[in-house]
Structure 1
Amino acid sequence: MHNIGNDIVDLNLAETESNWQRKGFLEKQFTKKEQQEICEADTSFLTVWLFWSMKEAAYKCYTQKVKKRFFAPLKFECRLISNNEGVVLYEGNKYHTITSFNSFYIHTIAKETDDEINFFLNIDSSETIHSDFKKQLAVQTGILSEEIEKRKSVIGAPLFYHQQKLLTKSCSISHHGNYGAFVFILNNES
């Protein structure tokens, strides 16, 4: 089964509420190599939140598979392939990431395979992300959004059903500050 995860960082909120330069923050969240890349980057602030977003998206992907939550950011190691592509390694697992940037947010999608998979994505206001998700799912399935039911897995990951039929194989909803994002793979997709 292919899982997918995503994370979004509101850059304005991160700048005002998160002091990434405080003592111990980088050491607690990032490997030595990542810390070095952050310190050497032209835009250290953006590199911090890029790596954060990559780790979170990969974590969400992994926890859907193992069905347990934990805190271990140092065990998730980010490697950049290009400005917007990377991999995150965690205990023998490899997650391929695609990141989009603009002046408002950083958004990363992580997936277990580098193969093409059909997934659906939307970025919008954090206030409307859940209704937007159901609307997009309704478009893709032909089922009325009012008939789509959101449930949560044992780890709190969203699952969407129509009657007793699971519609989403893998799903991730993320929100931070003014922005929300979702990605999902339909249950009938490979």
Structure 2
Amino acid sequence: MIGNDIVDLALAQKESNWKRNGFLNKLFTSDEQLMIHSSINPEIMVWNLWSRKEAVYKIFNRTTGIRKFNPIQLECLDDGKVIFDDQVYFTKTTITSEFIYSEAVLNSNDFNKIQGISRPSVIIKEDGIPYYLESSDSIKKQLSITHHGRFERIITLI
């Protein structure tokens, strides 16, 4: 299982006021808020944690079929792990001046199996989960798709 999320930093800065009263309390645990407030760049930390939570939620949704996202229930740790419902998820995050991009897996060895792909001409959705047919063998392969503002990433497991 895989999940991913990307945040266009220019768009996030323009459309979201993360400093507004109650925003952090609604989305982040007290430990995560401590990470945000003690960070050299709190805004980057907000979107780092957010993208990790979103990527993990995609895995949770796909494995359980539950479509209820309550971000404060996901606990991001300093080491890239995210805890949700007593399950440990692993995340890797790339931070640039333009975007923050996170990938999540259930098994840390799966990071070696993630492959970015171009948008397939046909995407099949079953129960809201995207798949595509690999042309070489017509096998249905799971995708994780994320887009925000100017950026899109599509990944699959090889």
Whether these two folds match at TM > 0.5 is yes
TM-superposed deviation, 1:92? 1.3
Indicate which of 139, 143, 147 corresponds to 1:175: 147
Offset, 1:167: 2.7
Residue 133 of structure 1 aligns to a residue whose secondary structure is: coil
Indicate the structure (1 or 2) with the bigger Cα radius of gyration: 1
**TM-score, normalization: structure 2?**
0.92
Q: List per-residue Cα deviations over 1:104-154 (Å, max 9, x = no partner).
A: 0000000001124412125xxxxxxxxx222xxxxxxxxxx5xxx311121
- Share of identical aligned residues, percent? 35
| Counterpart position of 1:54 | 52
1 CA distance for matches of 2:65 and 2:132? 17
Matched, 1:91 2:89: no
Cα deviations across residues 51-99 of structure 1 (Å, max 9, x unaligned)?
Answer: 0000000001111111221021111000122xxxx01100111111011
Moved over 6 A (4+): none
Give the gaps of 5 or more residues in structure 2: none
Contact kept in structure 2, 1:96 and 1:114, CA below 8 Å: yes
- TM-score when scaled to structure 1? 0.77
* Matched residue, 2:116: 121
RMSD of the TM alignment (CA)?
1.8
Structure 1: 5+ residue runs without aligned partners? 123-131, 135-144
Compute the displacement of 1:157 (Å).
2.0
CA contact (8 A) 2:36 2:42 kept: yes
- The answer to whether the 8 Å contact 2:60/2:66 transfers is no
Q: How many residues align?
A: 156
The one-letter code matched in structure 2 to 1:121 is G
